[in-house]
Amino acid sequence: MSYEVAVVGVGQTKFEYQSKKTTQELVFEAAKKALDDAGMTLEEIDTVVYGSAPDGFDGINMKGEHVIDAAGALGKPFERVFVGGATGALAPITGYYHVASGLSRATLVICQEKMSPCKPKPQGLFNTIFDEFTDRPMGINLIYIFALEMNRYMTVNKIKLETLAKVSVKNKKNAMDNPYAQLPMEITVEDVLNAPVMAYPVTKYHISPSSDGAAAAVFVNKNIAKYKEKPVWIAGVGWCLDSTYWTNRDLAYPKYVEYAARQAYNMAGIKNPQKEIQVAEPYDPFSYKELQHAEGLLLANRGEGWKLIEEGIAYRDGKLPLSPSGGLLGVGNPIAAAGMMKFNEIVLQLRGDAGKRQVKNNPKVGVVQAWGGLMQFTGVLVLKA
């Protein structure tokens, strides 16, 4: 048998560039807020899962060992999950199986990133994620390869830049209602198109910023959840890693996202995601990613992700709101913490606690996704009120 798992507390820090808080302070703040939200103390926590991406950002090896105190993990089973950008989903998935296996009654999951210590720009570090012989010498970084992928996605599906710009406009506007957001703004499609080009077709507003921040949640089993108000249940989890050889892959459609989504939907008993999912936080480090991931999550037919934005479905008052938090484009992208922020947003939306960000369709089922690696890794969680 496996145990049912509920989320009973969430918390996060402000996402910002060059935060004055240390890595440990960010971890502590998010963890404390999540515990307070759950009405629990550290004594009730059995295990701690920490998610954080490249050690190179902090310039610290074995980064997890440095936050054990701040994470409240002293004298407890503790582990660090790190799978690139998908860490924000794999850390909660790992937290899920800690509790679902019965090994832990209550698990604290904390994701944190401090990108700004990496000089001159964090993006430079991303050169070191590439193959040292074939890719790195080209001076390649993430923006280049996503420009390639964005181009391919637009070409295959005949999508205009204006459509993708609307995603940026929506998410940055959604972030206006998020007190933790780094880049909330009201801009127009023209602003996005006319912004400085970073690597064509990616302009400055098509991409999420570098950020510092942390987000955390408390996972418990049914015996504890029954004493808590508004527990949100983890109904399904799925994750998938595709081949290292991204150059040999279909860049227009993320098959690995579909595999992860199908695993999570099967577990959650969801037959028709387009009908049953009421709110979603697909990973949106780039504007096109939100739509491409929505297709992978089977929230739109293949090649028809653009309809979600053009037909108004993805807005907060739409049928299937996407990134009501403001997403990575609006709230910020502290790698591991970004996915966790999205996870927390779905929890708040399902509880009806999202305040000004609350979507209008009274959702009971939501999905969250995070993504990373060489365009190859995705984790998906289905949550139910």
Partner 1 sequence: MHERIAIIGAAMSPLRATYPELSYKELMFATVSKALLDAGIGKDDVDSLVTCSDDLWEGRSIGDEFVPDQIGGALKPNNRINADGVYGVFQAFMQIRAKVATIVTVVAHSKSSDLITKNRILNYALDPVIERPLAQHPYFIPALEATRYMYETGITPADLARVVIKNRQAALKNPYAAYGAKLTPETVQNSPTISSPLTELDAAYYADGVAVVILAPESVAKNLKTKPVYVLGIGWDSESAHLGARNWGRADYAYKAGIRVYEMAGIKNPAQELDFAEIDDRFSYKELMHAEALRLVPEGQGKKVLTGETMPINPSGGYLGLGYAPNAAGLTRVVEAVFQLRGEAGSRQVKNATKGLVFGWYGPPSASGGAVILGNE
Among residues 79 and 191, whose Cβ is nearest to partner 1? Answer: 79
In this structure, is the dihedral angle defined by the CA atoms of residues 168, 371, 72 and 67, taken in order, positive or negative? negative
* Rounded Cα distance, 309 and 157, in Å: 14
Query: Which region among 55-63, 163-171, 296-304, 342-350 touches partner 1 (by CB under 8 A)?
Result: 55-63
Among residues 336 and 346, whose Cβ is nearest to partner 1? Answer: 336
28 is a site residue for partner 1 (CB under 8 A):
no
260 is a site residue for partner 1 (CB under 8 A):
yes
Total chain residues near partner 1 (CB under 8 A): 66
134 is a site residue for partner 1 (CB under 8 A):
no
* Rounded Cα distance, 230 and 216, in Å: 17
Contact 34, 11 (CB under 8 A): yes
| Identified binder of partner 1 from the candidate list 148, 195, 267, 385, rule CB under 8 A | 267
**Which tokens is 204 given?**
């400055």
233 is a site residue for partner 1 (CB under 8 A):
no
| Identified binder of partner 1 from the candidate list 123, 151, 263, 361, rule CB under 8 A | 263
> How many C-beta atoms surround the C-beta of residue 329 within 10 A?
29
Amino acid at 250: D
Amino acid at 224: I
Contact 64, 250 (CB under 8 A): no
Least distance to partner 1, CB of residue 60, Å: 6
| Identified binder of partner 1 from the candidate list 53, 198, 224, 299, rule CB under 8 A | 53
Q: Is 14 helix (H, G, I), strand (E, B) or coil?
A: coil
| Identified binder of partner 1 from the candidate list 14, 33, 98, 293, rule CB under 8 A | 98
11 is a site residue for partner 1 (CB under 8 A):
no
73 is a site residue for partner 1 (CB under 8 A):
yes
Cis ω before 201 (30° cut-off from 0) = yes
Place of tokens 């127009």: 188
109 is a site residue for partner 1 (CB under 8 A):
no
Q: Is 321 helix (H, G, I), strand (E, B) or coil?
A: coil
Tell me the HSE value of 381 on the side-chain side, using a 13 A CA sphere.
31
**Among 233, 222, 231, 180, which Cα is nearest to 342's?**
180
Least distance to partner 1, CB of residue 349, Å: 24
266 is a site residue for partner 1 (CB under 8 A):
no
**Which tokens is 219 given?**
């996972």
103 is a site residue for partner 1 (CB under 8 A):
yes
CA dihedral of 223, 226, 228, 232, whole degrees rounded to 10: 90
Query: Which region among 28-36, 62-70, 159-167, 180-188 touches partner 1 (by CB under 8 A)?
Result: 62-70
Least distance to partner 1, CB of residue 232, Å: 18
Which segments of 144-285 are extended strands (E)? 197-199, 202-203, 212-221, 232-241, 279-281
Query: Which region among 61-69, 152-160, 282-290, 312-320 touches partner 1 (by CB under 8 A)?
Result: 61-69
74 is a site residue for partner 1 (CB under 8 A):
yes
259 is a site residue for partner 1 (CB under 8 A):
yes
293 is a site residue for partner 1 (CB under 8 A):
no
Among residues 5 and 331, whose Cβ is nearest to partner 1? Answer: 5
132 is a site residue for partner 1 (CB under 8 A):
yes
Query: Which region among 151-159, 278-286, 300-308, 369-377 touches partner 1 (by CB under 8 A)?
Result: 369-377
155 is a site residue for partner 1 (CB under 8 A):
no
* Rounded Cα distance, 323 and 329, in Å: 9
* Rounded Cα distance, 300 and 273, in Å: 9
What value does the CA radius of gyration of the chain take, rounded to a whole number of Å?
Answer: 19
State the residues that interact with partner 1 by CB under 8 A.
1-3, 53-56, 59-66, 68-69, 73-84, 90, 93-94, 96-98, 100-103, 125-126, 128-132, 237-245, 255-256, 259-260, 263, 267, 372-374, 376-377
